[in-house]
């Protein structure tokens, strides 16, 4: 049995990574994930592992690229503007088939924004914020425990597919303290015969590279990536569903927002309203089938996000049949309020769309435009 | 007996002529117009091999590592 | 009578022609690096960092572990490798766009941290791979496709950047030198400097960088032999040759060749 501790999300992610055998961490200070780099600066050198506060987020992701190409478990973390800086490096990781773990503790944007929580980097993480046909498993933890567990898992997943993995958190998750159990793990990274450096003992030279000027080569590589993405979709999907079997309205939310929705769901159930929740734990791969299946019985879906609406496009894509789709979101650091979500539930389920919605950020019968 | 010998791999050579400038003994010459290697370059060759001292200056400046140089192993 | 081989192609240079232009300096520098890797028996535990630029193509014909990294980020990627494999010899190879333009932050900080890597900086005063645009190292008055009338610092195009002079002030730099490879005599001196840089890494003594003035005949619009003259008469006065730092101490400018 592991150790039960009280930790901030940022620190829990760092500690979980250390226990998972991360050998190199490179980061740059940016609120609201500074506790992560600070924790690493203290504990990585203690364990004889590599820590560098790099000159920029760009340098940090490229240091990760280097360590990953040398076969080491490598990680970086940042927040939204810094994540934008990393996109080139992430594309190179995908193109060169390198494992790495990248943590984004999202904050309000666009631009410099603020240091409040946000989920507006969903498109960036899931639709390939970097150039090329890139995809990677994206975990969206909702509790500090889950953040630790998924961080530990992400190193195995990255190594399994030779592909980067993103942990998508937000300022609330990063900053809040919750109890969690940290398990004793024996990290078991697979052998990496493709890695550079170390004594070759006669092995042929290896190449870590994402360029080829020869005709057809990069296309062939992309078909290899496609096969990997299909495997990830088949094996790595994680989703939680609560009370959907008899639901008249299903809330769809991930991360911190899902906690707010859970609370709303409990309150609504207490009032006799049949509310369910679908919580993607991986936002890539996305639980399209779970949603379209639920839409066979449930007529109303309400997506809640800390953004102007990004995941909702994937909910729509899932295919809801005749079911209605509604949205409530708060961008730029705003956090959805229980009372506002309840107001929409009342409007749709109780008042049968008679009356008016008083909050901004709500769209009834959302359509893509 | 010449003191040195060079061999130029004509298919690695690109005819840049830097070796001609480096050679103090006028050993090297460019192939005739129309005489090209499989990549279409005119190439350098030992036009006066008897003058070669094996100093190696040509190989020092060759950007294509096209020149191998031998020198008499002497005990002076 | 016995003939001893005194020069030839390194076995690390695979049996393929180099993709560089006739008279390009890269081939000379690659050869010196290969010779030193062989002399110090490093090939079995070595990573060559191939940057973006003409020398990205080194991966097609050098028989070494090679890491191709993003443009300008070579020192960061090299840092990532060396920190986790401190006994692996890491040779970081960069051109003037990679090092002196997009990668200025990365080289300054890798040097400043004293990363135990060896950087070879090939300065040919132009962007070769992309067809001849102005580089940070392009000389005043020198023409390039993005300064067709010649580089003019008075109109906001900037001055030619002297990388050795720039890095000299950084505490983490142990060995810093500028050399050239346009004549046999200069090639021999360049090899000595690169050898010293290798020894800094092998002795775990910190950061070493050797700048090499090199020809780009095609983009300079010259024949290879004219390009040799350009280095001698135009580049060296702007970029004086010699050692800038040795064993972590600055070397006096009087010890350097050329002017300014």
Residues A207 and A319 grouped into a single domain:
no
Q: Do at least 3 CB pairs under 8 Å connect A with C?
A: yes
Q: Judging by DSSP bridges, how do beta strands A177-182 and A3-8 pair with one another?
A: antiparallel
Evaluate whether residue C49 is within a structural domain: yes
- The three-state secondary structure class of B6 is strand
- For residues A36-53, average pLDDT: 95
Chain C interface with A: residues with Cβ < 8 Å: 44-47, 50, 56, 59, 63-70, 73, 76-85, 88, 90, 105-106, 108-109, 113
**Domain with C131 in it:** 26-255
Indicate if A108 and A42 belong to the same structural domain: yes
- Which residues have a Cβ under 8 Å from the Cβ of B17 and sit 6 or more positions away? B30, B44, C23, C223, C224, C225
CB contact under 8 A, A205 and C78: no
Let me know if residue A59 belongs to a domain: yes
* CA angle in degrees (0–180, nearest 5) for B26-B29-B33: 155
Q: Determine contact, residues A356/A333, Cβ cutoff 8 Å.
A: no
Q: Do C225 and B21 touch (CB under 8 A)?
A: yes
Do residues C161 and C100 lie in contact, with contact meaning Cβ atoms separated by under 8 Å? yes
Strand order through the sheet with A282-284: A50-53, A24-27, A74-78, A100-106, A164-170, A138-139, A282-284
Mean predicted confidence (pLDDT) in B44-73: 96
In a domain, residue A368? The reply is: no
DSSP states of A141-208 as a string? Answer: --SHHHHHHHHHHHHHHHHHHTSEEEEEEEHHHHH-EEEEEEPP----PPP-TT---S--TTPPPPEE
Distance CA A334, CA A230 (A): 35
Chain segment A87-131, per-residue pLDDT in tens: 999 999 999 999 999 999 999 999 999 999 999 999 999 997 899
Domain assignment present for C4 = no
Rounded Cα distance, A96 and A211, in Å: 9
Question: Contact C8/B65, CB-based, under 8 Å?
Answer: yes
Confidence band of C258 (pLDDT split at 50, 70, 90): low
Give the residue numbers in A contacting C (CB under 8 Å), as ranges.
23-24, 26, 50, 52, 54-56, 58-60, 62-72, 74, 88-89, 92, 96, 196-201, 205-211
Per-residue pLDDT band for C51 (boundaries 50, 70, 90) equals very high
Share of residues in chain C with pLDDT > 70 (%)? 98
For residue B76, is it within any domain? no
User: Quick one: A130 and A161 in the same domain?
Assistant: yes
Tell me the nearest-neighbour CA distance from C84 into chain B, angstroms.
34
Check whether residue A286 and residue A223 sit in a common domain.
no
Of C21, C26, C28, the CB nearest to B61: C28
The residue segments making up the domain with residue A72 are 3-235
pLDDT value for B76: 52
Does residue C217 fall inside a structural domain? yes
Is the CB of residue C192 less than 8 Å away from at least one CB of chain B?
no
Does A369 map to a domain? no
Per the domain annotation, does C67 fall within a domain? yes
Name every residue whose Cβ is closer than 8 Å to that of residue C192 and which is 6 or more positions away in sequence: none
Based on the fold, state whether residues A250 and A225 are members of the same structural domain.
Answer: no
Cα–Cα dist A174/A114, whole Å: 15
b/e per residue C169-197 (b: at least 16 CB within 10 A): ebebbbbbbbbbbbbbebbebbbebbebb
Share of chain A above pLDDT 70, in %: 100
Shared domain for A139 and A249, answered yes or no, is no
CB contact under 8 A, C217 and B16: yes
In a domain, residue C121? The reply is yes
Q: Which of C9, C181, C228 sits opposite B21 (nearest CB)?
A: C228
Q: Which of A194-198, A228-232, C54-58, C122-126 has the lowest mean pLDDT?
A: C54-58
The CATH number of the domain where C231 resides is what? 3.40.50.970
Reply yes or no on whether the pLDDT at C259 is more than 80. no
DSSP bridge pairs for A75: A25, A101
Q: How far apart are CA C90 and CA C33, in angstroms?
A: 12
CA distance A146 to C190: 56
Interacting residues of C202 by C-beta distance below 8 A, sequence separation 6+: C40, C89
Residue A260 lies in a domain: yes
DSSP symbols for A164-177: EEEEEEEHHHHH-E
Distance CA C178, CA B69 (A): 28
Q: Tell me if B25 is assigned to some domain.
A: yes
The pLDDT, as a whole number, for residue A2 is 83
Please tell me if residue B14 touches chain C, with a CB cutoff of 8 Å: yes
Q: Tell me, yes or no, whether A66 lies in a domain.
A: yes
For residue C221, give the DSSP letter: T
Q: How many domains does chain A divide into?
A: 2
Q: Of the given ranges (A81-95, A302-316, C240-254), which has the lowest mean pLDDT? A: C240-254
Residues in C closer than 8 angstroms to A63, CB to CB, are 76-77, 79-80, 83
- Average pLDDT of chain A is 96
**Cβ–Cβ contact C25 with B under 8 A:** yes
Question: Are the beta carbons of B72 and C17 separated by less than 8 Å?
Answer: no
At residue B15, does pLDDT exceed 80?
Answer: yes
Percent of chain C with pLDDT over 90: 89
Q: Is residue A174 a part of any domain in this protein?
A: yes
Q: Do B67 and C8 touch (CB under 8 A)?
A: yes
Contact criterion met (CB < 8 Å) for B39 and C17: yes
Asked if B26 has any chain C CB less than 8 Å from its own CB, the reply is: no
pLDDT at B74 over 80: no
User: pLDDT of C5-17, one tens digit each?
Assistant: 999 999 999 888 7
What's the total number of domains in chain C? 1
- Domain with residue A349: its CATH number is 3.40.50.920
ipTM comes to: 0.94
Say whether both A198 and A271 belong to one domain: no
**Interface-testing mutation among A22, A59, A206, with chain C (most C C-beta atoms within 10 A):** A59
pLDDT digits (tens, 9 = 90+) for C139-197: 999 999 999 999 999 999 999 999 999 999 999 999 999 999 999 999 999 999 999 99
State the first-to-last Cα distance of chain B, in angstroms, to the nearest integer: 16
For residue C15, the distance in angstroms to the closest alpha carbon of chain B comes to: 9
Same domain, A249 and A285: yes
> Range of B33's domain?
4-71
| Beta bridge partner(s), residue C65 | C47
| Nearest residue in A to C89, CA atom | A197
pLDDT band for C260, please (50, 70, 90 cuts): very low
Are residues A310 and A193 part of one domain?
no
Residue C96: pLDDT above 80? yes
Task: Kindly determine whether residue B69 and residue C6, on different chains, have CB atoms separated by under 8 Å.
Answer: yes
Task: Tell me the C-alpha distance between C83 and A194, whole Å.
Answer: 19
Asked if residue C8 is part of any domain, the answer here is no
Nearest to C27 among B21, B64, B73 (CB): B64
Short-list A31, A236, A15, CA closest to A116: A31
Q: Are residues A276 and A174 in the same domain?
A: no
Domain limit, last residue, from A199, A220, A235: A235
Domain co-membership, A196 together with A252? no
Q: What is the pTM of this model?
A: 0.92
Candidates A72, A66, A104; CA nearest to A87 is A104
CATH at B42: 3.30.70.3270
Q: Count of domains in chain B?
A: 1
* Residue C13 belongs to a domain: no
Does C6 sit within 8 Å of B54, measured CB to CB? yes
The answer to whether the CB atoms of A63 and C76 lie below 8 A apart is yes
Band of the pLDDT at C1, cuts 50, 70, 90? low
**Whether residues A174 and A290 fall in one domain:** no
Asked if the Cβ–Cβ distance from A197 to C78 is below 8 Å, we say: no
């Amino acid at each position: 049995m592991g150790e039960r501790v009280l930790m901030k999300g940022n620190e829990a992610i760092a500690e979980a990574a250390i226990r998972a055998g991360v050998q190199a961490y490179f980061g740059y200070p940016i609120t609201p994930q500074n506790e992560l780099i600070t924790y690493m600066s203290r504990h990585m050198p203690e364990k004889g592992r590599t820590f560098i506060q790099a000159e920029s987020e760009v340098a940090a992701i490229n240091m990760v690229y280097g360590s990953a190409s040398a076969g080491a478990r490598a990680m970086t973390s940042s927040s939204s503007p810094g994540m934008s800086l990393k996109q080139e490096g992430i594309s190179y990781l995908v193109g060169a088939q390198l494992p790495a773990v990248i943590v984004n503790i999202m904050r309000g944007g666009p631009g410099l924004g603020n240091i409040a929580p946000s989920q507006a980097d969903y498109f960036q993480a899931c639709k390939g914020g970097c150039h090329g046909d890139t995809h990677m498993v994206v975990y969206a933890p909702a509790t500090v425990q889950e953040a630790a567990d998924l961080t530990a898992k992400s190193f195995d997943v990255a190594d399994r597919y030779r592909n980067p993995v993103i942990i998508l958190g937000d300022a609330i998750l990063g900053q809040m303290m919750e109890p969690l159990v940290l398990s004793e793990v024996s990290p078991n990274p697979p052998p990496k015969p493709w890695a550079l450096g170390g004594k070759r003992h006669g092995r042929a030279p290896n190449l870590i590279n994402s360029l080829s000027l020869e005709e057809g080569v990069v296309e062939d590589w992309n078909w290899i990536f496609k096969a990997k993405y299909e495997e990830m979709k088949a094996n790595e999907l994680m989703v939680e569903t609560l009370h959907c079997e008899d639901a008249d309205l299903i809330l769809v939310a991930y991360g911190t927002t899902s906690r707010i929705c859970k609370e709303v769901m409990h309150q609504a159930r207490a009032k006799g309203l049949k509310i369910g929740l679908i919580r993607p734990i991986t936002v890539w791969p996305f639980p399209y089938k779970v949603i379209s299946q639920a839409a066979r019985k449930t007529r109303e879906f309400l997506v809640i996000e800390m953004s102007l609406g990004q995941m909702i496009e994937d909910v729509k894509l899932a295919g809801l049949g005749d079911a209605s789709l509604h949205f409530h979101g708060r961008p730029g650091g705003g956090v959805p309020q229980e009372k506002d979500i309840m107001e929409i539930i009342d409007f749709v389920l109780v008042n049968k769309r008679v009356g008016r919605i008083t909050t901004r950020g709500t769209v009834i019968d959302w359509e893509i435009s | 007996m010449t003191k040195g010998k060079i061999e130029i791999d004509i298919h690695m050579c690109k005819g840049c002529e830097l070796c001609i400038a480096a050679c103090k003994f006028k050993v090297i010459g460019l192939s005739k117009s129309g005489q090209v290697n499989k990549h279409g370059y005119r190439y350098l060759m030992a036009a006066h091999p008897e003058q070669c001292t094996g100093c190696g200056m040509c190989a020092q400046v060759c950007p294509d590592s096209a020149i191998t140089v031998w020198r008499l192993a002497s005990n002076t | 009578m016995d003939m001893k081989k005194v020069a030839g192609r390194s076995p690390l240079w695979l049996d393929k022609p180099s993709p560089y232009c006739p008279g390009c300096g890269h081939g000379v520098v690659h050869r010196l690096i290969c010779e030193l890797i062989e002399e110090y028996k490093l090939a079995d535990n070595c990573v060559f960092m191939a940057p973006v630029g003409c020398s990205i193509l080194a991966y097609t014909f050098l028989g070494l572990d090679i890491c191709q990294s993003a443009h300008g980020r070579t020192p960061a990627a090299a840092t990532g490798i060396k920190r986790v494999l401190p006994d692996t010899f890491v040779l970081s190879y960069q051109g003037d766009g990679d090092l002196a333009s997009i990668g200025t932050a990365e080289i300054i900080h890798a040097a400043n941290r004293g990363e135990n890597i060896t950087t070879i900086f090939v300065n040919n005063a132009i962007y070769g791979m992309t067809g001849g645009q102005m580089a940070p190292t392009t000389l005043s008055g020198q023409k390039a496709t993005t300064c067709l009338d010649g580089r003019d610092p008075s109109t906001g195009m900037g001055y030619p950047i002297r990388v050795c002079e720039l890095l000299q002030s950084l505490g983490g730099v142990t060995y810093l030198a500028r050399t050239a490879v346009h004549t046999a005599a200069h090639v021999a001196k360049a090899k000595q400097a690169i050898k010293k840089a290798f020894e800094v890494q092998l002795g775990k003594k910190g950061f070493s960088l050797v700048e090499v003035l090199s020809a780009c005949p095609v983009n300079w619009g010259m024949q290879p032999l004219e390009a040799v003259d350009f280095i001698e008469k135009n580049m060296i006065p702007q970029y004086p040759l010699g050692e800038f730092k040795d064993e972590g101490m600055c070397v006096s400018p009087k010890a350097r060749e050329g002017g300014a």
